[in-house]
Amino acid sequence: MTGITSFGGYIPKLRMQRASIAGAHKWADPGAALKGKGERSMCNWDEDAITMGVEAVRDCLKSGGVIPEAVYFASTTLPFQERQNAGIISTALSLGEDLSVLDVTSSQRAGTSALLQALAAVKGDQLDNVMVVASDHRRSKSASPQEFTFGDGAAAVQIGNKDALLEFLGSHSITVDFVDHFRGAGEDFDYQWEERWIRDEGYQKIVPPAIAKALEKTGIKADDVNHFVMPATIGRAVQGIVQKSGLDNTVVCDTLHQQCGETGAAHPLVMLLNLLETDAKAGETVMLVGFGQGCDVLLFKVTEAISNSRGGNGISGSLANRREETNYQKFLVFNDLVTLEKGMRAEKDSKTALTVLYRKRDMLLGLIGGKCTQCGTAQFPRQDICVNPQCHESHCQEPYSFVEEAGQIQSWSADYLTYTMNPPSHYGMIVFDNGGRFMSDFTDVEVGEIDVGTRVKMVFRIKEFDHSRGFIRYFWKGVPV
């Protein structure tokens, strides 16, 4: 039985209050106030599609996921145009090198398309299991409608042949070059066409025929669909599709517009996960739709395995872990939408020696340290000679991951002098419960929130941008738990 065997989600902790966005624009756009309801998720300055993807996959692995044979990464905001983005995720999580990976991009339905490819590979017995992760951190111009409707987030699902909690029943895809928006190569922002046209000529005419064919292929009646998962930011667009397709009005799932906004290529999966975590019951039928230059329609049946599927935070847990952000200026800075005076300290060259990055890739991307086979001391970084003053044995370190190690803060400061996108820079000594320590950056922290003894966990984040070369350094940081 092919299907989704486990899942994990991640929504950034920051929630930009739409009222604050509207408040900033009302001088120029009196209508902005109408859009100023609810909140949208917002990446911290050090988050992007990769870092969110890492957290989603990590969450999936904690919820029963296993080391996959392949990772398919769907995003329209891949941090690298050339450098396998999925490979960064797999290296960060030490998924091993016997792995095939794929970046799937260029359309809002990249998430469902990656899912379809994974299902096909597993169903066709080419692979036993595939990790599909979709993540998007879409930029929008200041004062654009998308600034209100977009959100940032990621979702991961593992596809396998055993113990699926969501059994794959079948699908149908349609491809038409319907350009509701586009982003040319090298462009920073999308160019959007009129919403009413998108609704009438796009959603209403492209999706219902695909739904009809998917139902026909699977032999499922429209009446039997219990949940209809489809992102859309245009008012009443989904209801129109449901009506036209003969589905019950009540099956339309929450788009999470009020809590997080639309997370791009990740959003069909984000909505699906939210459904699985909150509403879905064994035996129910779920229809999942991804729209973009055509559409993908997928049908699933919820199995009894749904009852023991949890373990990680998921989408609902991420949504509950929130911090309201009312400072619109911070949103502009984090999304590089203003020309900011960063001071001379920010002028230092951040060229990365790729030889070093490769040589130390397990340390720098995977947070792998060492454990001494002589004295058992966990240590970071791993060096040839053990750090324990009572040991100092040579060449006796085994790789040891600190990714899931918990620790606490021994010393800290909030530094206003050093340059950071989110001053003050918080950092300090983390002492890990099972041995090892290092001086670490902290993130998702505001002034007054940490002290000696604060418990922390590690997260994968952007360490530094090399703007002059277009490179991004990633490493791990501590966050309070």
Asked whether the beta carbons of 46 and 474 are under 8 A apart, the reply is: no
The three-state secondary structure class of 167 is strand
**What is the full DSSP assignment across 185-232?**
TT-SS-EE--HHHIIIIIIHHHHHHHHHHHHHHHT--GGG--EEE---
One character per residue 214-233, x = contact with another protein (rule: CB under 8 A):
--------------------
CA distance 83 to 70: 17
Q: 295: which 2 tokens?
A: 């559409």
Contact segment (CB under 8 A) with another protein among 76-84, 146-154, 191-199, 383-391 equals: 383-391
Least distance to another protein, CB of residue 375, Å: 10
Q: Is 388 in the site for another protein (CB under 8 A)?
A: yes
Q: Is 396 in the site for another protein (CB under 8 A)?
A: no
Q: Is 440 in the site for another protein (CB under 8 A)?
A: yes
Cα angle 118, 358, 43; round to 5? 60
* Phi and psi torsions of 237, nearest 5°: -65, -45
In 19-68, DSSP assigns E strands to: 39-42
The three-state secondary structure class of 100 is strand
* Residues 62-81 close enough to bind another protein by CB under 8 A: none
Q: Is 366 in the site for another protein (CB under 8 A)?
A: no
One character per residue 4-43, x = contact with another protein (rule: CB under 8 A):
----------------------------------------
Asked whether the beta carbons of 305 and 281 are under 8 A apart, the reply is: no
Q: Is 402 in the site for another protein (CB under 8 A)?
A: no
Nearer to another protein, 186 or 343 (CB): 343
Q: Reply yes or no: is the peptide bond before residue 145 cis, omega within 30 of 0.
A: no
Q: Is 473 in the site for another protein (CB under 8 A)?
A: yes
Using the rule CB under 8 A, which residue among 2, 108, 309, 420 binds another protein?
420
Nearer to another protein, 252 or 431 (CB): 431
Q: Is 345 in the site for another protein (CB under 8 A)?
A: yes
Using the rule CB under 8 A, which residue among 414, 455, 465, 471 binds another protein?
414
Q: Is 406 in the site for another protein (CB under 8 A)?
A: no
Nearer to another protein, 328 or 380 (CB): 380
End-to-end CA distance of the chain: 38
Contact segment (CB under 8 A) with another protein among 130-138, 157-165, 279-287, 337-345 equals: 337-345
Q: Is 429 in the site for another protein (CB under 8 A)?
A: yes
Task: Specify burial of residue 455 (Cβ count, 10 A radius: 0-12, 13-18, 19+).
Answer: middle
Task: Specify burial of residue 453 (Cβ count, 10 A radius: 0-12, 13-18, 19+).
Answer: exposed
Nearer to another protein, 179 or 439 (CB): 439
* Residues 248-267 close enough to bind another protein by CB under 8 A: none
The three-state secondary structure class of 61 is helix
Judged by CB under 8 A, the number of residues near another protein is 53
Q: How many CB atoms lie within 10 A of CB 91?
A: 21
Looking at 327-381, list the stretches that DSSP marks H as alpha helix, in order from N- to C-terminal side: 328-334, 354-359, 361-364
What are the respective helix, strand and coil percentages of the chain, to the nearest 5? 30, 30, 40
Q: Is 334 in the site for another protein (CB under 8 A)?
A: no
Asked whether the beta carbons of 16 and 43 are under 8 A apart, the reply is: no
CA distance 91 to 88: 5
Nearer to another protein, 348 or 395 (CB): 348
Nearer to another protein, 447 or 481 (CB): 447
Nearer to another protein, 212 or 406 (CB): 406
Q: What is the DSSP letter of 253?
A: P
Contact segment (CB under 8 A) with another protein among 117-125, 201-209, 242-250, 357-365 equals: 357-365
Q: Is 472 in the site for another protein (CB under 8 A)?
A: no
Nearer to another protein, 327 or 418 (CB): 418
Q: 379: which 2 tokens?
A: 């240590």
Nearer to another protein, 176 or 439 (CB): 439
Residue 138: CA count within 13 A, CB half-sphere: 31
Residue type, 401: S
Q: How far is CA 133 from the centre of its chain?
A: 8
Q: Is 435 in the site for another protein (CB under 8 A)?
A: yes
Q: Is 343 in the site for another protein (CB under 8 A)?
A: yes
Q: Is 453 in the site for another protein (CB under 8 A)?
A: yes
Q: 231: which 2 tokens?
A: 């992102």
Contact segment (CB under 8 A) with another protein among 111-119, 126-134, 271-279, 419-427 equals: 419-427
Contact segment (CB under 8 A) with another protein among 162-170, 215-223, 334-342, 423-431 equals: 423-431
Q: In the complex, which residues of this chain contact another protein (CB under 8 A)? A: 343-345, 348, 350, 352-353, 356-357, 360, 363-364, 377, 379-381, 383, 387-389, 410-420, 424-425, 427-429, 431-432, 435-441, 447, 451-453, 463-464, 473, 475
